[in-house]
Amino acid sequence: MIRFLAKGLLRDRSRSLFPILVITIGIAIVVLMESYIAGTLGTMYRSTAKFTTGHVKIQSRAAVAENVIGAADLSLLGNQALLANLEKEAPDMNFHERIYFGALLDVPDSKGETRFQSTSLITAIDLLTERNEVHNLNLNKSLQEGRLPEKANEILLGQIFKDYIGLDIGDQITLIGGDIDGGMAVGNFTVVGTVRFGIIAFDRSSLIMDVTGAQEFLAMPDGATDIYGFYKDDQYFYHRPQALVERFNARYSVRAEEFSPQMRMLEQQNQLEDVMVIYSNITGYINGLFVVIMGIVLWNTGLMSGIRRYAEMGVRLAMGETKRHVYYTLLVEAVLVGIVGTLIGTAVGLVPAYFLQEIGFDISQMMGGAQMSIIFEDRIRALITESTFTAGIVPGILAPLFGALISGFGIFRRDTSRLFVELEV
Amino acid sequence: MKKLSFVVGLLMLAGELLAGPTALEIIKKMDALQNGDNQVIVSSMIIKGRRTTRTIKSKSWIQGDEKSFTELLAPAREKGIKMLKVGGKLWIYYPRADRVVNISGHMLRRSVMGSDMSYEDMMERRSIEETYHAVLEGEEKIGERMSYRILMTAKVDDVAYQKVKVWIDKTRYITLKQELYAASGKLLKRLDTLAVMKSSKGWYPSQVRFKDVLKEGDGTEFRVKSILFDQKISKKRFQKGQLRR
């Protein structure tokens, strides 16, 4: 029966070509839209994760409880053993020590006395080992002048900060802060390059150094304020690391020990849970609304196809085919058309979605010619997920089916004699 | 008439004597006993942090309210750091970086070596008479000692604390307790004298706990090992060149 109907559709292109074409275009748009929205969410997760939260972040219980960033005296110590364990316990992730802290940046004059002074925010990451985070923070692309640090006492300054201070590449600065015990931390560092963070507050006051330089400066050779964890596939979705977080905290985090480690996933930090739920809902509504609109268009196509074939139906009824059978074949045909249109539409939509995922769309010109920064990306990217493949099913198959269901009611409302007259058979 | 004037004069004098000293007089007397022309102090600062307790030993040369020079003697990480205060300026020499750094502006509000004391606390050089209205509020027993309770309210805007309450020992003229408040009335820091010692001028607080109440931890304790008044201090001691020596 289905074979017979499929042959009929293939041979009578007036019954199949236009509906399949409309469904293909509609579903291709739905697929592209779905992957684009998933990509936007992914970009948001990536930007937040790479600089602020990681996919998971480990801090001391005291740092979590006091909600402080960059308090050296609340750092985690003995991290090498912890990192070795984490590698075994979460093989799908990479973990990195990071140190965020504040210090007084002092620039000497020719006599070695203060010429300029400012508070500075320091991000210390692994820059020198094989497991470095250069790629994580887009440092190669964000570099504005000079080169990346090659030694522990070399630093990168925010471009605006460097210009404001009036420094040249190769100049020396002194950092003065408090070490892990609250003691005086003092060190000289050489400016070897500048970077663009992408947020004016960071560009004006931030610098980047290697984590070993910061550990030496803060007198904590095996310590860090944070340990960031990232999935190797770079993909994050809501509550993905929940099982890991629960397992880790049950094993390592001791309520009575304020310096024991505590792991939190992305949405557990900085009140991001609410932001993510709201953002996710909004994008879901947008996606849903688009699907509904496409559904109406495709339903209308189904409706039109049904109505357009009233003459054929009249003949079939006159030849003795039951109304129920005519209606049934109409529905099966609609489903066949829907399946074919959805398959082709999904395939067509995946092409630009894949392009957007892999290459992205350069928006730097729209952003006033801004280049890649550490925090923000200069490309819009899509993300193809499982739901990209299934997004077209509801509008692509159900909508034409509903169209056929409604238009087919006409068959039951008409007498055979009236159909003859009406359909001019 | 002459007799009457004499009696009135006598009564006024007796009244003044019975009224006791004013707040300002008490503060001036305390200042005179605790600060000579100059002082040389060897002391320890015990900083009780959340992870560790550190002891920083230092030697200070202090000339009046305007000049002071401090050299840190221990621990190893801080040994050799020197601080020079001249008037409203403060320079610190860091031997590890071989740098002389000027501490000014908002940097003065930062903690000294992780202690509960800020550079600003070290820097105030104007007399209390210049900066505060002092009122004797009454007498109060602090521990076993009777004390004058004095309330000081800032006359000027640029002082670190807008209101200060101080309890001064009635007989030894040393501070027993002090509370430092913000303009809003919020208590910011507290000082308690834990022990006293005899100096060549009288009594001197030898062990003092200074607590920033907004900060975690048990506060910072200052212990004076020795204090010498009115010593011969070379003028060179308070020159910047001395920092790198």
CA dist., res. B242 & res. B245, Å (int) = 5
pLDDT at position B13 is 47
Looking up tokens 């019975």 gives B18
**Mean pLDDT along residues A121-130:** 94
Nearest CA in chain B to A104: B107
Looking up tokens 């489903």 gives A335
Chain B nearest C-alpha distance from A395 (Å): 60
Sign (positive or negative) of CA dihedral A111, A114, A116, A118:
positive
Contact B108, B125 (CB under 8 A): no
* B interface test, pick of A176, A179, A218, A259 with most B CB neighbours within 10 Å: A176
Q: How far is CA B49 from the centre of its chain?
A: 22
Q: What is the pLDDT of residues A75-114, one digit of tens each?
A: 999 999 999 999 999 999 999 999 999 999 999 988 888 8
Which residues of B are less than 8 Å from A259 in CB distance?
51
Chain A nearest C-alpha distance from B102 (Å): 6
Neighbours of A236 (CB within 10 A): 24
For residue A206, list its beta bridge partners.
Answer: A121
Q: Are strands A154-158 and A206-210 parallel, antiparallel or unpaired?
A: antiparallel
This prediction has a pTM of 0.74
**Mean pLDDT along residues A247-275:** 90
Q: Is the pLDDT of residue A176 over 60?
A: yes
pLDDT at position A410 is 66
Q: Is the pLDDT of residue A369 over 90?
A: no
A88-A241-A126-A272 Cα dihedral, nearest 10 degrees: -160
Cα–Cα distances in angstroms (integers) from residue A324 to residues A149, A263, A410, in the given order: 78, 62, 12
* Domain boundaries B21-238, corresponding CATH code: 2.50.20.10
Q: What is the mean pLDDT of chain B?
A: 86
CA dist., res. A338 & res. A325, Å (int) = 20
**Mean pLDDT along residues A320-332:** 83
Q: Is the pLDDT of residue B9 over 60?
A: no
Contact B113 A112 (CB under 8 A): no
* A interface test, pick of B94, B115, B212 with most A CB neighbours within 10 Å: B94
pLDDT at position A202 is 82
pLDDT at position A380 is 77
pLDDT at position B10 is 47
Q: Within an 8 Å CB–CB cutoff, is residue B218 touching chain A?
A: no
Residues in contact with A64: Cβ distance below 8 Å, sequence separation at least 6, in sequence order: A262, A264
Chain B, 103 to 132: residues with Cβ < 8 Å from chain A are: 104-107, 110-111, 113-115
* Tokens standing for residue A319: 């030849």
**Mean pLDDT along residues B99-116:** 82
* A interface test, pick of B55, B70, B77, B214 with most A CB neighbours within 10 Å: B77
Q: How many residues does chain A have?
A: 425
* A interface test, pick of B82, B99, B106 with most A CB neighbours within 10 Å: B99
Contact B111 A182 (CB under 8 A): yes
Collapsed DSSP state (helix, strand, coil) of residue B135: strand
H/E segment holding residue A97: strand A93-108
Q: Is the pLDDT of residue A420 over 90?
A: no
pLDDT at position B112 is 84
Q: What is the pLDDT of residues A199-231, one digit of tens each?
A: 777 888 899 999 999 999 999 998 999 999 999
Q: Is the pLDDT of residue A264 over 90?
A: yes
Of A119, A184, A188, the CB nearest to B113: A184
Q: Within an 8 Å CB–CB cutoff, is residue B99 touching chain A?
A: yes
**Mean pLDDT along residues A169-188:** 90
A-side interface with B, Cβ within 8 Å?
62, 73-74, 104, 106, 108, 112-114, 117, 119, 174, 176, 178-184, 186-188, 219, 258-259
Chain B nearest C-alpha distance from A115 (Å): 9
Give the DSSP letter of residue A113: B
Contact A181 B107 (CB under 8 A): no
* Tokens standing for residue B35: 């600060």
Nearest to A329 by CA among A344, A347, A309: A309
The residue with greater pLDDT, A5 or B199, is: B199
Q: What is the pLDDT of residues B153-210, one digit of tens each?
A: 998 888 889 999 999 999 999 999 999 999 899 999 999 999 999 988 889 999 999 9
pLDDT at position B17 is 45
Query: Residue type at A244?
Result: L
Sign (positive or negative) of CA dihedral A57, A60, A61, A64:
negative
Q: How far is CA B82 from the centre of its chain?
A: 19
Nearest CA in chain B to A76: B51
Phi and psi at A337, nearest 5°, equal -60, -45
* B interface test, pick of A73, A110, A205 with most B CB neighbours within 10 Å: A73
pLDDT at position A305 is 67
Contact A184 B77 (CB under 8 A): yes
Q: Within an 8 Å CB–CB cutoff, is residue B94 touching chain A?
A: yes
Contact A181 B81 (CB under 8 A): no
pLDDT at position A140 is 87
pLDDT at position B11 is 45
Nearest CA in chain A to B98: A112
Which residues of B are less than 8 Å from A176 in CB distance?
94, 101
Contact B54 A179 (CB under 8 A): no
Phi and psi at B133, nearest 5°, equal -90, 125
Residues in contact with A42: Cβ distance below 8 Å, sequence separation at least 6, in sequence order: A235, A236, A381, A383
Residues in contact with A346: Cβ distance below 8 Å, sequence separation at least 6, in sequence order: A27, A28, A31, A389, A392, A396
Q: Is the pLDDT of residue B118 over 70?
A: yes
CA dist., res. A121 & res. A311, Å (int) = 77
Which residues of B are less than 8 Å from A183 in CB distance?
54, 75, 77-78, 113-114
Reported as a pLDDT band with limits 50, 70 and 90, residue B117 is: confident
* Tokens standing for residue A296: 């109406």
Domain boundaries, chain B: 21-238
Q: What is the pLDDT of residues B23-50, one digit of tens each?
A: 999 998 888 888 778 899 999 999 988 8
User: H helices within A98-229, ranges in order?
Assistant: 139-142, 159-165, 200-205, 211-217
Phi-psi region of B134 (alpha: psi -120 to 50; beta: other; left: phi over 0): beta
Chain B nearest C-alpha distance from A362 (Å): 43
H/E segment holding residue B86: strand B82-86
Q: What is the mean pLDDT of chain A?
A: 84
Q: For helices A399-413 and A310-318, give the axis angle rounded to 10 degrees.
A: 50
Q: Is the pLDDT of residue B56 over 70?
A: yes
Collapsed DSSP state (helix, strand, coil) of residue B242: helix
